[in-house]
């Protein structure tokens, strides 16, 4: 019996955290994939591939690191041309790479500019560059990894996620240190909606995926704060991403999806 054709997946920021767990979850399913692991350096990507092959030795899926830096148009173009020389299409593009910085560490302008450069501008250019390869797929899927911190609805009623009151006076304490990150992810939600409507007639299915409050460096900064939800292992978020990739949330195209069938407010 012939093996099913491998689906071609490109995921940015694939060497750690949610990205790495997503690749691990993908290669454990019954579908076979060829996964391109987007990485800042090929050494970093090769190390991630080696670790994945050790942890999932039985997989029929294949893995390949590919260098891409979302802050560089040249790097994004080179990534595209490299993939185009190896594959005739991309079936799934997962925009996972992101950055979070605190103004207290690098200065306000630096924190905001760098967060937007990666999470918004870089993600937009990456997507725009790879649309031609997605259009060659029989089942093209486009995912944007967003965050519960980006949701405007809950913030209208209470200061999320810590629910801590902000006292009067100046300067204000850093009750929420990742303002640049959450604002950039809110902007990315609009990018997702733009692509949803622009690509709908082409048959490209588009989602935002909000993976939950995960035990990553960002999540750890809120651990123990009043009102902060419990941290989940990144594999929990990865399972949601894989569910979207494999058709489990096709009824929610054009939305930001949460686990357990829920939808996140914009």
53-72 per-position pLDDT tens digit: 999 999 999 999 999 999 99
pLDDT at 175 over 90: no
Architecture per CATH, 7-261: 3-Layer(aba) Sandwich (3.40)
Residue 133, classed as helix, strand or coil, is helix
Average of per-residue pLDDT across 245-251: 98
Average of per-residue pLDDT across 165-182: 83
Q: Would you state the pLDDT for residue 2?
A: 46
Q: Would you state the pLDDT for residue 1?
A: 40
Mean pLDDT, the chain, integer: 92
Q: Would you state the pLDDT for residue 102?
A: 85
Residue 198, classed as helix, strand or coil, is helix
What are the residue numbers of the active site? 147, 181, 185
d(CA 72, CA 75): 5
Q: Summarize pLDDT for 200-231 with one digit per residue, the tens.
A: 999 999 999 999 878 776 666 666 665 666 78
Average of per-residue pLDDT across 225-239: 81
89-93, 106-110, 161-165, 232-236: which is most confident: 89-93
pLDDT at 265 over 80: yes
pLDDT at 125 over 70: yes
Instruction: Name the pLDDT band for 184 (thresholds 50, 70, 90).
Output: very high
- The domain locations on the chain are 7-261
Average of per-residue pLDDT across 139-162: 89
d(CA 235, CA 239): 6
d(CA 103, CA 172): 13
What is the Cβ-side half-sphere exposure of residue 177, based on CA atoms within 13 angstroms? 16
- Which has the minimum average pLDDT: 9-23, 137-151, 213-227? 213-227
pLDDT at 121 over 60: yes
Q: Under a CB-based contact definition with an 8 Å cutoff, are residues 139 and 69 in contact?
A: no
Instruction: Tell me the Ramachandran region of residue 240: left when phi exceeds 0, alpha when psi lies from -120 to 50, beta otherwise.
Output: alpha
Q: Would you state the pLDDT for residue 164?
A: 75
Long-range contacts: 162-165, Cβ < 8 Å, 24+?
A: 162/222, 162/225, 162/226, 162/227, 162/228, 163/226, 163/227, 164/225, 164/226, 164/227
d(CA 85, CA 77): 12
- Which has the minimum average pLDDT: 110-124, 167-181, 197-211? 167-181
């Amino acid at each position: 019996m012939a093996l099913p054709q491998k689906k071609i997946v490109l995921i940015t920021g694939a060497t750690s955290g949610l990205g790495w767990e997503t690749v691990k979850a993908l290669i454990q399913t019954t579908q076979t994939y060829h996964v391109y692991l987007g990485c800042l350096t090929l050494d970093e990507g090769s190390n991630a591939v080696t670790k994945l092959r050790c942890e999932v030795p039985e997989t029929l899926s294949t893995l390949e690191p590919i260098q891409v830096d979302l802050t560089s148009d040249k790097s994004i173009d080179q990534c595209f041309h490299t993939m185009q020389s190896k594959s005739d299409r991309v079936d799934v593009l997962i925009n996972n790479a992101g950055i979070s910085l605190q103004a207290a560490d690098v200065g306000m302008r630096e924190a905001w500019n760098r967060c937007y450069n990666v999470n918004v501008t870089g993600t937009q250019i990456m997507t725009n560059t790879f649309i031609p390869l997605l259009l060659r797929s029989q089942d093209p899927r486009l995912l944007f990894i967003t965050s519960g911190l980006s949701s405007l609805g809950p913030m209208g009623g209470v200061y999320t996620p810590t629910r801590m009151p902000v006292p009067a006076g100046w300067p204000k304490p850093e009750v929420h240190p990742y303002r640049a990150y959450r604002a950039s992810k809110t902007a990315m939600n609009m990018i997702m909606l733009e692509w949803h409507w622009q690509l709908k007639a082409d048959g490209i299915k588009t989602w935002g995926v909000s993976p939950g409050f995960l035990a990553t460096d960002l999540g750890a900064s809120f651990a123990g704060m009043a009102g902060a939800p419990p941290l989940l292992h990144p594999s929990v978020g990865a399972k949601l991403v894989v569910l979207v990739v494999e058709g489990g949330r096709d009824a929610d195209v054009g939305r930001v999806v949460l686990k357990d069938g829920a939808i996140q407010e914009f």
